[in-house]
Structure 1
Amino acid sequence: MNNKRKQVVLFIRGVIASILVLGIGYAIYSNFIKDKGATASTGTNLAPNFILIDLKGNEVNLEDYRGKGVLLNFWATYCPPCEKEMPYLESAYKDYKDKGIEILAVDVGEPRILVDQFVSKKGLSFPVLLDWKGDTADLYKVQTLPITFLINEKGEIVDKITGEMTEEAVRQHLDSIVPK
């Protein structure tokens, strides 16, 4: 009986070790090897187009911003790093909007009333768009928040920033997409 118990314990340990190895392998694959960028879905650097509703009820079409540099930020009110970078985006928006730059902040999966309260509390003036179903986030293969895509005046994605940005980083990234 004692020998059989040892075999069962060893078997269970083997199963657990196998599950851990598979989990770690998948995490490495999905985060470092697999191409997660929006360009993978289009086969080009062209940013996938979308039409979303802003907080005023207006339709916003990404293609309407051709000729401008666009900082496309995916975020949510419950995300502390997202909340932290909002004042940086607001400050930069005021300084860059007359240089041919647009900031579009896409809230993923939250109700309008919650987002509207957040935007009012933070005093945000750049367009905030609502992606209730997460379709646009899926189109851009968003897996973590915040994530920011830099789109040049030709509509091409030139960079993707995962995670929170400092105010200095926001400005440096915007400098890289000011239309020529």
Structure 2
Amino acid sequence: MKKRRLVMRSVILLILGAAVAYTLYANFSKDKIHKVEMGKEAPDFVLVDMDGETHRLSDYKGQGVFLNFWGTWCKPCEKEMPYINNQYKQFKDQGVQTIAVNISESKLVVNKFLERHDLEFPVVIDKDRQVENAYGIGPLPATFLIDPEGKVVKYHTGTLTEPMVREFMEQVKP
């Protein structure tokens, strides 16, 4: 009986040790994720929006781009969506495009979210998280401002207020 208890405790201890080792490894290697540098060319990508239209970042050269990464489960993301939508309506005819990149959720879930919030700007889904990885996204929401030359001029993580969204779109307006 004692030997069996000792074996069980040893197995549990090994599992806990492995979990701690993995957590430490994940935290230390997380910093090595390549983050997009300010002033450098934004990584190009091609994603399809909810209407089936293709969006290639490089097609927006000559225009400013407000690139927002989000998830339906993210309450701060949900809070800023109406602000982004309001400013999108103001800036879309002034050369500032908005692209909202959903991180790996189903089309059904994203469509329900869009219907509930009546959003008008293009929303794409990064199904395999390649764009998320290319940009080195950490916590959501995350927003990149890309100038008309295609260079990243700002990175912001956390909830945006409507005045911040307006200011950010002004920064990348051609």
Normalising TM by the smaller chain, what interval?
Answer: 0.7 to 0.9
Match of 2:173 among 170, 174, 178: 178
Per-residue CA deviation, residues 50-102 of structure 1 (Å, 9 max, x unaligned), is 00010011211111100000000000000000000000000000001111000
Q: Which amino acid is the alignment partner of residue 56 of structure 1?
A: D
Provide runs of 4+ in structure 1 moved above 6 Å.
none
Identify the structure with bigger relative contact order (alpha carbons < 8 Å, sequence gap 6+): 2
Q: Which amino acid is the alignment partner of residue 129 of structure 1?
A: V
Q: Are the counterparts in 1 of residues 35 and 134 from structure 2 also a CA contact under 8 Å?
A: no
For the residue of structure 1 that corresponds to 2:121, the secondary structure is coil
Paired residue for 1:127? 122
Match of 1:71 among 54, 66, 83: 66
Q: Which amino acid is the alignment partner of residue 37 of structure 2?
A: T
Paired residue for 1:99? 94
List gaps (5 residues or longer) in structure 1. 1-18
Between the aligned partners of 1:133 and 1:85, the Cα distance in structure 2 is: 24
**Identity within the alignment, %:** 38
Match of 2:155 among 145, 157, 160: 160
Paired residue for 1:85? 80
Between the aligned partners of 1:30 and 1:112, the Cα distance in structure 2 is: 28
Change (3 A) 1:118 1:173: same
Between the aligned partners of 1:81 and 1:66, the Cα distance in structure 2 is: 29
Normalising by the residue count of structure 1, what TM-score does the alignment of the two structures yield? 0.78
Paired residue for 1:37? 35
For residue 30 of structure 1, report the CA deviation from its aligned partner: 5.8
Between the aligned partners of 2:154 and 2:128, the Cα distance in structure 1 is: 25
Paired residue for 1:58? 53
For the residue of structure 2 that corresponds to 1:49, the secondary structure is coil
Between the aligned partners of 1:113 and 1:132, the Cα distance in structure 2 is: 13
For residue 39 of structure 1, report the CA deviation from its aligned partner: 3.0
Q: Are the counterparts in 1 of residues 144 and 154 from structure 2 also a CA contact under 8 Å?
A: yes
Q: Which amino acid is the alignment partner of residue 62 of structure 2?
A: G
CA RMSD of aligned residues (A): 2.4
Paired residue for 1:11? none
Q: Are the counterparts in 1 of residues 34 and 134 from structure 2 also a CA contact under 8 Å?
A: no
1:150 maps onto 2:167 in alignment: no
Normalising by the residue count of structure 2, what TM-score does the alignment of the two structures yield? 0.81
Between the aligned partners of 2:158 and 2:126, the Cα distance in structure 1 is: 19
